[in-house]
Structure 1
Amino acid sequence: MRNHFLDTSKALLIFLVVFGHFLERMIGWNFPESHTLLAVIYFVHMPAFIFISGLLFKDKNYIKNIIFFTALYIPFQFLFPAFDALWTGHFNWTLLQRPYWILWYLVAMICWTLLTHYLIKTKYPVLIAVFLAMLIGFSPWNNYDYSLGRIFTFLPFFVVGQVYGQKIMQSIQQFRYATATALLIFVTILSVVVITNISPYWLYGSLSYQQLKVDWLQGSLIRLGIYILSSLGIVAVFAIAHLLKNRFVQLGRNTLPVYLLHGFVVIGLSKYIYFHFHIAVNIVLCLLLSLLTCFVLQHAIFDRALRKLSLWLMKPTEKIWDR
């Protein structure tokens, strides 16, 4: 039996993902209003989404999941650059070195699935995940390549979701003052964003301390602070989802097609639509485009299409994972 509360949470988060990408492409981070809105979204949406991914992780299916995400990643890693090349006339051949834009999440899911399979067999999986996440900041390499930075920076949220997700979710649902707490958390995150004017590169989680031009101590403290705020943001998202009851369940059931396919919508529209209105109007237009995109892509036909697409690799490897 599906958990409608979890579906509502996923629906809220996938909408924030789509809204954030429309804001980035159509407006950007340069306006104070869009910077503030984007930063608040980025503090919360991917950490919370990854937390839920960890919560739903089933270790007995880890090989099947790795193959499934690989089966989607490979074709989309060619499809997105090909789609972009329709306008640029240039095909991006750095396919192996850098996952295309939103596809880092598929690569990360492959890695988180494999890492968590072994981490949960240890005595302190969460502590090890946090240690690895902090350690990647010291990397002398370009952490953007192969999505190394994001894989390890966001790893703790996946592991915490797997180890403690159910207990955290149940506690929030039973908490009497969840709504007031959520409001307080968002005000806190908003205040931090306004006061610090934080760079989006900290929230992407894709760069090392050296690339972010800070020393190891400052970098470690900033990243730790982001972890704390993002963790509180996860609590706030669940609290809001509890308030929404069982609304938007269909969208929550079909987040994968929305995630993968909205990229084509955002890229295509950004090539033809230019916003030159007041910033408030531009934000509202992004909001409407996000709602429309989610409404269309939530339909089961797109999920079925992705499942069929994955069969090119799932079928030949069935004997490996189906045992």
Structure 2
Amino acid sequence: MSSRDYRIDRAKGILIFLVVLGHLLARTSPWESPILGAPMYFIYMFHMPAFVFLAGITAKSNKLAERVLTYFVLLATVLPLMWGWMWLFGLNPDYDFLRPFWYTWFLLSMAWWMITVPFIERFPRTMLVASLVVGLFGGLLPVLDTELSAARTMAFWPFFVIGKLYGKQIIDWAGSLAIWQKLCLSAAALAAVGYFFLDQVDYNWLYGSLNFAHFDVSVPEGVGLRLIVDIGAVLLTLALLSWLSNTKDTIATIGKNSLAVYILHGFVVRALQPVLDDSRNVLHDAVVLLICVALAVVWTGLLAWSPFERALRWWSSTVTGLLLKPFPFLRPEASDRRSGRGRGERGRRGDAVSPGDTYHPGDTYSEGDGPDRQGLGLQPMPGVGYQHSPGYEQHPGQQQSFASPAPVAGEPYPLPGSHEVPQNNATYETTQEVPAGAAQRAVRYRRLPVYLSGDEHR
């Protein structure tokens, strides 16, 4: 079992802080102010693409129905609560069942992205090309905009696919850069932000929620601007990842519990909205920025309290389990439990790959966890399983045992990993024809269990 990569948690911790800060600043009408507009361009240029990239790293296709339904359960839970919360504070909740309200778009988009995971695993190159084409040219579709989070789903889909296919390698590469390379990468990322800020590019491009028709641009101009925005997001994401260390600290803890922060911070921001709306009328913009930073630090830390995360995951997993109970064929882990398989996955129902997901690739071996599991492509050939191996015996009344038999006198027993196995050992060469007399010669050497080989758990 591989150790946890805290770089992912730390990246999530930093990004969820930027999410809270960005939403607090957004209540102050910041785009008109140079002091508030600069951090807004910085935050919105990459914080959600980076989150989508990290979500792709942790995305898996097992228990797919359960994972997808979890996002719909969270969406159906948050929306009515948010509408009631805003009504309580005298705010307009803006009902529209086809348009996810405010930050809940991410939950719906995650459900759509998760549905594509099996296809990404099966056709990686095709899906990578398809995601790039959809991400750049999706704005051409005039009928898809904020409805069902379609525009954002298409615009940010390439980051999800790249994270799924190459995320771990990209994190390792970014972390291995020399200091001067990290500085150059960071300078290029800040230059991209500076270009958008100084040229006053329409900040709505950063949201990814609108089609080209909204901006009244030609197709080449729209595709070009979408490409420039994506390049800026890539540079900023790589710059962030390059400076992260694999250390468990407070930031990593916040990242581990970032799902609760993401879900709950919206209620805090909306409760503060009446105050933040008028803050620039009585305070200098620099003071407003400092207040928002302080509020973001405090509330990010408070909402990252682990009981919030556990309660949220318990709720989503419980409701999801009840909804899927009449459909056992959509819950393969139930059959795994009946057959004694999937113990490593037990209790992980409802794991979401949203900002707070803690389910990293390599945490458990859910498939292919043994010598005869098809998941690793290790199905034994007929007649060459353990029960047919030389030296294997089963006595009446005893359970099957793979205990090592006593070595043949005069012949040393080859140690696991040893290469002192003769070429004519037919027990090892299961894909070749057995030469005459080889079975008698092979009886001197016991067939090593597959799980003793060091290559299968890399």
Q: Which moved more, 1:222-231 or 1:113-122?
A: 113-122
Q: Which residue of 1 aligns with 2:79?
A: 77
The amino acid across from 1:192 in the alignment is Y
Q: Which residue of 1 aligns with 2:232?
A: 229
1:102 aligns with 2:103: yes
Q: CA deviation at 1:245?
A: 4.3
**2: CA distance between counterparts of 1:129 and 1:204?**
18
**2: CA distance between counterparts of 1:30 and 1:75?**
34
Determine which of 312, 321, 324 is the counterpart of 1:314: 321
Kept in 2, the 8 Å contact 1:71–1:314? The answer is no
Q: CA deviation at 1:309?
A: 2.0
Determine which of 14, 18, 21 is the counterpart of 2:20: 18
Determine which of 271, 276, 279 is the counterpart of 2:274: 271
Q: CA deviation at 1:91?
A: 5.4
Q: Runs ≥4 in structure 1, deviation > 6 angstroms?
A: none
Q: Which moved more, 1:32-41 or 1:48-57?
A: 32-41
Q: Which moved more, 1:282-291 or 1:64-73?
A: 64-73
**Paired residues for 1:290-309 under 5 Å:** 290-309=296-315
1:38 aligns with 2:40: yes
Q: Which moved more, 1:258-267 or 1:224-233?
A: 224-233
Kept in 1, the 8 Å contact 2:89–2:271? The answer is no
**1: CA distance between counterparts of 2:98 and 2:244?**
37
**What secondary structure sits across from 1:149 in the alignment?**
helix
Kept in 2, the 8 Å contact 1:81–1:100? The answer is no
The amino acid across from 1:100 in the alignment is F
**2: CA distance between counterparts of 1:182 and 1:61?**
38
Q: Which residue of 2 aligns with 1:191?
A: 194
Kept in 2, the 8 Å contact 1:26–1:286? The answer is no
Q: Note the aligned Cα RMSD (angstroms).
A: 1.8
Q: CA deviation at 1:294?
A: 0.5
Q: Deviation string for 1:83-107 (max 9, x for gaps)?
A: 111133765431x211110000000
**2: CA distance between counterparts of 1:58 and 1:289?**
35
Q: Which moved more, 1:44-53 or 1:124-133?
A: 124-133
Q: Which moved more, 1:63-72 or 1:7-16?
A: 63-72
**Paired residues for 1:195-206 under 5 Å:** 195-206=198-209
**What secondary structure sits across from 2:145 in the alignment?**
coil
Q: Which residue of 1 aligns with 2:183?
A: 180
**What secondary structure sits across from 2:215 in the alignment?**
coil
Q: Which residue of 2 aligns with 1:114?
A: 115
**Paired residues for 1:245-260 under 5 Å:** 245-247=247-249, 248-260=251-263
Determine which of 140, 148, 152 is the counterpart of 1:150: 152
Q: CA deviation at 1:154?
A: 0.4
Kept in 2, the 8 Å contact 1:67–1:314? The answer is no
**2: CA distance between counterparts of 1:23 and 1:82?**
23
- Cα pair distance change 1:5/1:225, threshold 3 Å: same
Determine which of 284, 290, 304 is the counterpart of 1:284: 290
Q: Which residue of 1 aligns with 2:172?
A: 170
Q: Deviation string for 1:102-146 (max 9, x for gaps)?
A: 000000000010123223322322111011122321011250121
Q: Which moved more, 1:4-13 or 1:193-202?
A: 193-202
Q: Is the helix fraction higher in 1 or 2? A: 1
1:220 aligns with 2:226: no
Q: CA deviation at 1:258?
A: 0.3
Q: TM-score, normalised on structure 2?
A: 0.67
Q: Which moved more, 1:77-86 or 1:120-129?
A: 120-129
Kept in 1, the 8 Å contact 2:100–2:108? The answer is yes
Kept in 2, the 8 Å contact 1:182–1:240? The answer is no
Q: TM-score, normalised on structure 1?
A: 0.94
Quote the sequence identity (%).
26
Structure 1, unpaired ranges of 5+: none
Higher relative contact order (CA 8 A, sep 6+): 1
- Cα pair distance change 1:83/1:294, threshold 3 Å: same
Kept in 2, the 8 Å contact 1:27–1:282? The answer is no
Q: CA deviation at 1:182?
A: 4.2
Q: CA deviation at 1:77?
A: 1.5
Q: Deviation string for 1:240-281 (max 9, x for gaps)?
A: 323x84431110100101001000000001124542211111
Q: How many pairs are equivalent?
A: 321
The amino acid across from 2:28 in the alignment is M
Q: CA deviation at 1:183?
A: 2.6
Structure 2, unpaired ranges of 5+: 334-458
Kept in 1, the 8 Å contact 2:17–2:296? The answer is yes
